[in-house]
């Protein structure tokens, strides 16, 4: 039996883009023959993963995982929504979300070990070969509180804990944790529906604010009114923009009357403990990814021609 070295595994991995554990297994199966090992990987469909890696993956799932005083949300992409309904893919995403609770960054998560013994990155590469589509870990966010609760919500759930939109809400408080989780979930549902730009006015991106102000001024000037009047019009419209765009001043969708700030204040009185919302995350599948338009008929014709 040939001794399988790290250099051999690396060489096979560079050649096939398969995961390290798969390369090691292939070399063991072929007694260290690199060429035969590459053929073994191709037979299993694993070596195809490298070719698939260049294809745009803008579908997939967002998953939320919660633990005491912390929560994480991850996005794992696939090429089609069909794969997002695949049980093996869903199992992998669930495991990745649970691991995200324990790390601080997407890079750390990609390197974290899964139950298979592979890193998250290599485990997804293995799945690419088995399922036949490109997939990747795109991002993660984690929220923690020193006291209180982190609540989560999944919108358009495909299965337990994962779907198209995931939201986390962090509430610092000495109040009853179950009540805080209930409040946090309601606010998370509101966030999923309204997609606020920031928690408070001070948290807004100032470039975005400046751009909005310029646009409103240009619109107002077209009315032909004096600039002094235009400035007042712009300020009035900016107040409306802030009220509609900032979470704390948005009207709570569940009652249509109170602002989120007032909802939290009312719950603080009911619990007899101060509640401070320290952060939130809203993550949607494919946000910001440019999806390539495919000519399906041409793709089929090319496949037939090349067959």
Q: What is the pLDDT of residue 303?
A: 44
Q: What is the pLDDT of residue 1?
A: 61
Look at residue 248 and tell me whether its pLDDT is greater than 60: yes
User: Which DSSP symbol is given to 295?
Assistant: -
Q: What is the pLDDT of residue 17?
A: 62
> Which of the residue ranges 20-34, 44-58, 97-111 would you say has the lowest mean pLDDT?
44-58
Q: How confident is the model at residue 306 (pLDDT cuts 50, 70, 90)?
A: very low
Q: What is the pLDDT of residue 180?
A: 98
Average pLDDT over every residue of 99-109 = 97
Q: What is the pLDDT of residue 42?
A: 65
Cβ of 4: how many Cβ atoms within 10 Å?
A: 18
Average pLDDT over every residue of 272-295 = 83
Q: What is the pLDDT of residue 112?
A: 97
Average pLDDT over every residue of 207-229 = 83
Q: What is the pLDDT of residue 296?
A: 43
State the residue for tokens 């060429």: 35
Average pLDDT over every residue of 18-40 = 83
CATH entry, 59-200+250-284, from 3.30.450.20, 3.40.5.10, 3.30.479.20, 3.40.50.10440? 3.30.479.20
Average pLDDT over every residue of 70-81 = 93
State the residue for tokens 């993963």: 49
- In this structure, whether the domain defined by 6-47 belongs to CATH 1.20.1290.10 is answered with no
| Residues 6+ positions from 133 with CB-CB distance below 8 Å | 52, 55, 57, 78, 79, 80, 83
Look at residue 66 and tell me whether its pLDDT is greater than 90: yes
Torsion 29-33-38-42 (CA) sign: negative
Q: Map out the domains of the chain as residue ranges.
A: 6-47, 59-200+250-284, 205-245
- Mean pLDDT (the chain, rounded): 87
pTM for the model stands at 0.74
d(CA 176, CA 179): 5
CATH number of 205-245: 1.10.286
Cβ 67 vs Cβ 122: under 8 Å: no
Q: How confident is the model at residue 45 (pLDDT cuts 50, 70, 90)?
A: low
Q: What is the pLDDT of residue 307?
A: 40
**β-strand 275-284 against 135-144: which pairing, if any?**
unpaired
Cβ 219 vs Cβ 156: under 8 Å: no
d(CA 127, CA 216): 49
């Amino acid at each position: 039996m040939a001794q399988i070295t790290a250099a051999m595994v690396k060489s096979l991995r560079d050649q096939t883009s398969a995961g390290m554990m798969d390369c090691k297994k292939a070399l063991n199966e072929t007694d260290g023959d690199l060429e035969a090992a590459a053929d073994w990987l191709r037979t299993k469909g694993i070596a195809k993963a490298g070719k698939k890696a260049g294809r745009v993956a803008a579908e997939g799932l967002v998953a939320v995982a919660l633990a005491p005083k912390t929560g994480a949300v991850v996005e794992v992409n696939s090429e089609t929504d069909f794969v997002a309904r695949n049980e093996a893919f869903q199992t992998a995403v669930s495991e990745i979300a649970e691991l995200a609770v324990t790390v601080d960054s997407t890079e750390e998560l990609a390197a974290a070990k899964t139950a298979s013994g592979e890193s998250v990155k290599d485990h997804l590469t293995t799945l690419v070969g088995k399922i036949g589509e490109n997939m990747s870990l795109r991002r993660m966010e984690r929220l923690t509180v020193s006291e209180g609760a982190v609540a989560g919500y999944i919108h358009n759930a495909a299965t337990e804990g994962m779907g198209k939109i995931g939201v986390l809400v962090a509430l610092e408080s000495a109040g009853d944790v179950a009540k805080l989780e209930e409040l946090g979930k309601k606010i998370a549902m509101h966030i999923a529906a309204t997609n606020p730009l920031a928690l408070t006015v001070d948290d807004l991106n100032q470039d975005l604010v400046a751009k909005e102000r310029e646009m409103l001024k240009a619109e107002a000037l077209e009315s032909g009114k004096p600039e002094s009047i235009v400035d007042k019009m712009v300020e009035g419209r900016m107040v409306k923009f802030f009220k509609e765009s900032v979470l704390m001043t948005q009207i709570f969708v569940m009652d249509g009357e109170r602002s989120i700030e007032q909802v939290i204040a009312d719950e603080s009185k009911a619990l007899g403990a101060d509640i401070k919302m320290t952060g939130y995350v809203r993550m949607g599948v494919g946000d910001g990814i440019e999806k390539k338009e495919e000519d399906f008929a041409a793709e089929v014709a090319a496949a037939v021609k090349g067959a």
